[in-house]
Protein backbone atom coordinates (compact mmCIF):
# COMPACT_ATOMS: atom_id res chain seq x y z
CA UNK A 1 0.00 0.00 0.00
CA UNK A 2 1.44 3.40 -0.89
CA UNK A 3 2.14 5.97 1.83
CA UNK A 4 -0.60 8.47 0.99
CA UNK A 5 -3.32 5.80 0.98
CA UNK A 6 -2.11 4.40 4.31
CA UNK A 7 -2.05 7.86 5.85
CA UNK A 8 -5.52 8.68 4.53
CA UNK A 9 -6.91 5.43 5.91
CA UNK A 10 -5.29 6.15 9.30
CA UNK A 11 -6.78 9.66 9.28
CA UNK A 12 -10.24 8.26 8.56
CA UNK A 13 -9.81 5.78 11.41
CA UNK A 14 -8.79 8.58 13.78
CA UNK A 15 -11.88 10.57 12.78
CA UNK A 16 -14.12 7.59 13.49
CA UNK A 17 -12.44 7.09 16.86
CA UNK A 18 -13.22 10.72 17.73
CA UNK A 19 -16.88 10.16 16.86
CA UNK A 20 -17.00 7.07 19.09
CA UNK A 21 -15.39 8.88 22.00
CA UNK A 22 -17.62 11.93 21.58
CA UNK A 23 -20.58 9.55 21.85
CA UNK A 24 -19.06 8.14 25.09
CA UNK A 25 -18.96 4.63 23.68
CA UNK A 26 -16.28 2.04 24.32
CA UNK A 27 -14.94 0.04 21.41
CA UNK A 28 -16.87 -2.98 22.64
CA UNK A 29 -20.10 -0.99 22.99
CA UNK A 30 -19.81 0.36 19.46
CA UNK A 31 -19.11 -3.13 18.13
CA UNK A 32 -22.24 -4.40 19.86
CA UNK A 33 -24.32 -1.57 18.39
CA UNK A 34 -22.94 -2.27 14.91
CA UNK A 35 -23.24 -6.06 15.31
CA UNK A 36 -19.60 -6.91 14.61
CA UNK A 37 -16.57 -8.18 16.52
CA UNK A 38 -14.76 -5.62 18.74
CA UNK A 39 -11.52 -6.36 16.89
CA UNK A 40 -13.05 -4.84 13.75
CA UNK A 41 -13.57 -1.55 15.55
CA UNK A 42 -9.93 -1.51 16.59
CA UNK A 43 -8.66 -2.37 13.10
CA UNK A 44 -10.73 0.38 11.50
CA UNK A 45 -9.66 3.01 14.03
CA UNK A 46 -5.99 2.10 13.59
CA UNK A 47 -6.26 2.28 9.80
CA UNK A 48 -5.53 -1.43 9.39
CA UNK A 49 -8.91 -2.20 7.84
CA UNK A 50 -10.78 -0.06 5.37
CA UNK A 51 -14.45 0.32 6.29
CA UNK A 52 -17.22 -0.11 3.76
CA UNK A 53 -19.93 2.48 3.22
CA UNK A 54 -22.29 0.22 5.18
CA UNK A 55 -19.77 0.18 8.03
CA UNK A 56 -19.71 3.98 8.03
CA UNK A 57 -23.50 4.08 8.09
CA UNK A 58 -23.62 1.74 11.09
CA UNK A 59 -20.89 3.76 12.84
CA UNK A 60 -22.70 7.06 12.32
CA UNK A 61 -26.01 5.64 13.52
CA UNK A 62 -24.38 4.17 16.63
CA UNK A 63 -22.68 7.47 17.46
CA UNK A 64 -25.56 9.75 16.42
CA UNK A 65 -23.30 11.31 13.80
CA UNK A 66 -25.40 11.11 10.64
CA UNK A 67 -24.63 14.75 9.83
CA UNK A 68 -21.05 13.77 8.89
CA UNK A 69 -21.94 10.55 7.06
CA UNK A 70 -21.75 12.07 3.58
CA UNK A 71 -18.35 13.60 4.31
CA UNK A 72 -17.05 10.27 5.58
CA UNK A 73 -18.30 8.49 2.47
CA UNK A 74 -16.59 11.09 0.27
CA UNK A 75 -13.35 10.52 2.18
CA UNK A 76 -13.67 6.76 1.76
CA UNK A 77 -14.26 7.06 -1.98
CA UNK A 78 -11.19 9.26 -2.34
CA UNK A 79 -9.13 6.55 -0.64
CA UNK A 80 -10.61 3.88 -2.87
CA UNK A 81 -9.85 5.86 -6.04
CA UNK A 82 -6.24 6.41 -4.97
CA UNK A 83 -5.40 2.70 -5.03
CA UNK A 84 -7.09 0.54 -7.62
CA UNK A 85 -6.15 -3.06 -8.25
CA UNK A 86 -5.92 -3.80 -11.96
CA UNK A 87 -8.58 -6.50 -11.65
CA UNK A 88 -11.01 -3.81 -10.50
CA UNK A 89 -9.80 -1.34 -13.13
CA UNK A 90 -10.36 -3.73 -16.04
CA UNK A 91 -13.64 -5.13 -14.72
CA UNK A 92 -15.46 -2.52 -16.80
CA UNK A 93 -13.22 -3.19 -19.78
CA UNK A 94 -9.89 -1.91 -21.00
CA UNK A 95 -11.59 0.54 -23.34
CA UNK A 96 -13.23 2.17 -20.32
CA UNK A 97 -9.80 2.63 -18.74
CA UNK A 98 -8.52 4.24 -21.94
CA UNK A 99 -11.44 6.68 -21.87
CA UNK A 100 -10.48 7.64 -18.34
CA UNK A 101 -6.94 8.38 -19.52
CA UNK A 102 -8.36 10.43 -22.38
CA UNK A 103 -10.25 12.58 -19.89
CA UNK A 104 -7.32 12.99 -17.47
CA UNK A 105 -4.89 13.92 -20.22
CA UNK A 106 -7.40 16.28 -21.79
CA UNK A 107 -7.54 18.36 -18.60
CA UNK A 108 -3.76 18.67 -18.26
CA UNK A 109 -1.62 21.41 -19.78
CA UNK A 110 1.78 19.89 -19.04
CA UNK A 111 2.35 16.14 -19.00
CA UNK A 112 5.63 14.50 -18.02
CA UNK A 113 5.94 10.76 -18.45
CA UNK A 114 8.69 8.34 -17.45
CA UNK A 115 8.82 4.71 -18.57
CA UNK A 116 11.70 2.35 -18.03
CA UNK A 117 10.41 -0.80 -19.75
CA UNK A 118 7.76 0.22 -22.29
CA UNK A 119 7.08 3.05 -24.71
CA UNK A 120 4.61 5.56 -23.17
CA UNK A 121 1.04 5.04 -24.31
CA UNK A 122 0.79 8.46 -25.99
CA UNK A 123 3.69 7.51 -28.28
CA UNK A 124 2.71 3.94 -29.16
CA UNK A 125 1.82 2.65 -32.61
CA UNK A 126 -1.41 0.65 -32.98
CA UNK A 127 0.51 -2.62 -33.35
CA UNK A 128 2.71 -1.93 -30.33
CA UNK A 129 -0.32 -0.89 -28.25
CA UNK A 130 -2.21 -4.05 -29.20
CA UNK A 131 0.78 -6.21 -28.25
CA UNK A 132 1.15 -4.45 -24.90
CA UNK A 133 -2.55 -4.64 -24.06
CA UNK A 134 -2.59 -8.32 -25.06
CA UNK A 135 0.24 -9.00 -22.61
CA UNK A 136 -1.60 -7.04 -19.91
CA UNK A 137 -4.74 -9.08 -20.51
CA UNK A 138 -2.75 -12.29 -20.04
CA UNK A 139 -1.30 -10.96 -16.77
CA UNK A 140 -4.61 -9.59 -15.45
CA UNK A 141 -7.45 -11.56 -17.08
CA UNK A 142 -11.10 -10.66 -16.84
CA UNK A 143 -13.30 -7.80 -17.93
CA UNK A 144 -14.92 -7.25 -21.31
CA UNK A 145 -13.33 -8.56 -24.48
CA UNK A 146 -12.75 -5.08 -25.95
CA UNK A 147 -9.09 -5.14 -26.95
CA UNK A 148 -9.57 -3.59 -30.40
CA UNK A 149 -11.74 -0.82 -28.98
CA UNK A 150 -9.14 -0.13 -26.30
CA UNK A 151 -6.42 0.20 -28.95
CA UNK A 152 -8.59 2.57 -30.97
CA UNK A 153 -9.15 4.83 -27.97
CA UNK A 154 -5.48 4.72 -27.03
CA UNK A 155 -4.68 5.99 -30.52
CA UNK A 156 -7.35 8.70 -30.15
CA UNK A 157 -5.56 9.91 -27.04
CA UNK A 158 -2.61 10.91 -29.21
CA UNK A 159 -4.57 13.71 -30.89
CA UNK A 160 -3.61 16.04 -28.05
CA UNK A 161 0.00 15.82 -29.24
CA UNK A 162 -0.89 17.55 -32.51
CA UNK A 163 -2.64 20.76 -31.51
CA UNK A 164 -3.10 23.30 -28.76
CA UNK A 165 -0.63 24.71 -26.28
CA UNK A 166 -0.02 21.62 -24.16
CA UNK A 167 3.56 20.60 -23.45
CA UNK A 168 4.83 17.04 -23.19
CA UNK A 169 8.06 15.58 -21.88
CA UNK A 170 8.76 11.87 -22.26
CA UNK A 171 11.73 10.09 -20.73
CA UNK A 172 12.16 6.48 -21.85
CA UNK A 173 14.68 3.95 -20.59
CA UNK A 174 16.86 2.57 -23.39
CA UNK A 175 15.98 -0.98 -22.31
CA UNK A 176 12.38 -0.36 -23.39
CA UNK A 177 13.55 0.19 -26.96
CA UNK A 178 15.65 -2.97 -27.19
CA UNK A 179 12.96 -5.19 -25.70
CA UNK A 180 10.82 -6.85 -28.36
CA UNK A 181 7.11 -6.21 -27.95
CA UNK A 182 5.06 -8.15 -30.48
CA UNK A 183 7.46 -8.75 -33.36
CA UNK A 184 10.62 -7.17 -34.76
CA UNK A 185 8.48 -5.52 -37.42
CA UNK A 186 6.35 -3.95 -34.71
CA UNK A 187 9.49 -2.63 -33.02
CA UNK A 188 10.93 -1.14 -36.22
CA UNK A 189 7.69 0.74 -36.87
CA UNK A 190 7.61 1.89 -33.26
CA UNK A 191 11.18 3.22 -33.40
CA UNK A 192 10.49 5.20 -36.57
CA UNK A 193 7.32 6.59 -34.99
CA UNK A 194 9.31 7.75 -31.95
CA UNK A 195 11.68 9.61 -34.26
CA UNK A 196 8.68 11.31 -35.86
CA UNK A 197 7.34 12.30 -32.44
CA UNK A 198 10.73 13.79 -31.60
CA UNK A 199 10.22 16.31 -34.43
CA UNK A 200 7.03 17.60 -32.79
CA UNK A 201 7.77 21.02 -31.22
CA UNK A 202 5.31 20.24 -28.40
CA UNK A 203 7.18 17.07 -27.47
CA UNK A 204 10.43 16.77 -25.52
CA UNK A 205 11.55 13.18 -26.12
CA UNK A 206 14.54 11.85 -24.21
CA UNK A 207 16.16 8.43 -23.77
CA UNK A 208 18.07 7.36 -20.66
CA UNK A 209 21.02 5.29 -21.94
CA UNK A 210 21.84 1.98 -20.29
CA UNK A 211 25.23 3.43 -19.36
CA UNK A 212 23.58 6.10 -17.19
CA UNK A 213 23.11 3.75 -14.22
CA UNK A 214 19.80 5.45 -13.46
CA UNK A 215 18.59 5.28 -9.84
CA UNK A 216 14.83 5.07 -10.49
CA UNK A 217 13.03 1.73 -10.17
CA UNK A 218 10.98 -0.21 -12.66
CA UNK A 219 7.60 1.51 -12.30
CA UNK A 220 6.60 4.14 -14.81
CA UNK A 221 4.76 7.27 -13.78
CA UNK A 222 3.05 10.29 -15.30
CA UNK A 223 2.92 13.78 -13.79
CA UNK A 224 -0.02 16.02 -14.67
CA UNK A 225 0.49 19.75 -14.02
CA UNK A 226 2.16 19.04 -10.66
CA UNK A 227 -1.26 18.25 -9.20
CA UNK A 228 -1.55 14.51 -9.90
CA UNK A 229 0.80 11.59 -10.44
CA UNK A 230 -0.35 8.27 -11.89
CA UNK A 231 1.84 5.27 -11.05
CA UNK A 232 1.38 1.86 -12.62
CA UNK A 233 2.62 -1.19 -10.72
CA UNK A 234 2.20 -4.84 -11.61
CA UNK A 235 -0.82 -5.27 -9.36
CA UNK A 236 -2.41 -1.84 -9.11
CA UNK A 237 -2.61 1.75 -10.25
CA UNK A 238 -1.85 4.52 -7.75
CA UNK A 239 -3.03 8.10 -7.87
CA UNK A 240 -0.83 10.50 -5.90
CA UNK A 241 -2.16 13.96 -5.02
CA UNK A 242 -0.25 14.91 -1.85
CA UNK A 243 2.09 17.82 -2.73
CA UNK A 244 4.96 16.33 -0.72
CA UNK A 245 4.76 13.06 -2.67
CA UNK A 246 4.31 14.79 -6.01
CA UNK A 247 7.53 16.65 -5.24
CA UNK A 248 9.36 13.31 -4.96
CA UNK A 249 8.20 12.27 -8.43
CA UNK A 250 9.00 15.74 -9.72
CA UNK A 251 12.58 15.36 -8.47
CA UNK A 252 12.83 11.83 -9.88
CA UNK A 253 11.71 13.01 -13.30
CA UNK A 254 14.12 15.92 -13.22
CA UNK A 255 17.01 13.58 -12.37
CA UNK A 256 16.10 11.11 -15.13
CA UNK A 257 15.60 13.92 -17.61
CA UNK A 258 19.03 15.26 -16.75
CA UNK A 259 20.66 11.85 -17.33
CA UNK A 260 18.93 11.31 -20.67
CA UNK A 261 19.98 11.88 -24.25
CA UNK A 262 18.08 14.63 -26.05
CA UNK A 263 17.58 15.89 -29.58
CA UNK A 264 19.83 14.40 -32.23
CA UNK A 265 21.65 12.19 -29.73
CA UNK A 266 18.36 10.56 -28.73
CA UNK A 267 17.09 10.06 -32.27
CA UNK A 268 20.43 8.63 -33.39
CA UNK A 269 20.22 6.03 -30.64
CA UNK A 270 16.62 5.20 -31.57
CA UNK A 271 17.63 4.85 -35.23
CA UNK A 272 20.47 2.52 -34.23
CA UNK A 273 18.06 0.35 -32.26
CA UNK A 274 15.60 0.33 -35.19
CA UNK A 275 18.38 -0.92 -37.45
CA UNK A 276 19.20 -3.68 -34.97
CA UNK A 277 15.56 -4.82 -34.89
CA UNK A 278 15.52 -4.88 -38.69
CA UNK A 279 18.53 -7.20 -38.82
CA UNK A 280 17.57 -9.63 -36.07
Q: Say if residues 35 and 105 touch (Cβ distance below 8 Å).
A: no
pTM for the model: 0.72
CATH class of 84-279: alpha beta
Q: Say if residues 113 and 229 touch (Cβ distance below 8 Å).
A: no
Whether domain 4-82 has CATH 3.40.50.300: the reply is no
How far is CA 65 from each of CA 21, 68, 136, rounded to the nearest angstrom?
12, 6, 44
Q: How far apart are CA 235 and CA 58, in angstroms?
A: 31
Give the model's pLDDT for residue 141: 63
Positions of the chain with pLDDT under 50: 1-2, 86
pLDDT tens figures, 131-187: 998 887 776 666 677 889 999 999 999 999 998 899 999 999 999 999 999 999 999
Residue 151 class from Cβ within 10 Å (0-12 exposed, 13-18 middle, 19+ buried)? buried
Domain pair 4-82 / 84-279, same fold = no
Give the model's pLDDT for residue 1: 47
Domain extents in the chain = 4-82, 84-279
Amino acid sequence: MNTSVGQARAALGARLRELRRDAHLSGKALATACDWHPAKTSRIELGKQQPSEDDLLAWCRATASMLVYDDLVATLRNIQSAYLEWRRVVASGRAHRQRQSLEIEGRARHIRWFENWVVPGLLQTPAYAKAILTECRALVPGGRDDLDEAVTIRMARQRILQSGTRRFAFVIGEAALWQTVGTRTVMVEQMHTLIQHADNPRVDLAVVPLSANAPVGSHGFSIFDRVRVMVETISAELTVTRPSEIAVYDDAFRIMHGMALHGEAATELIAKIAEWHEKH
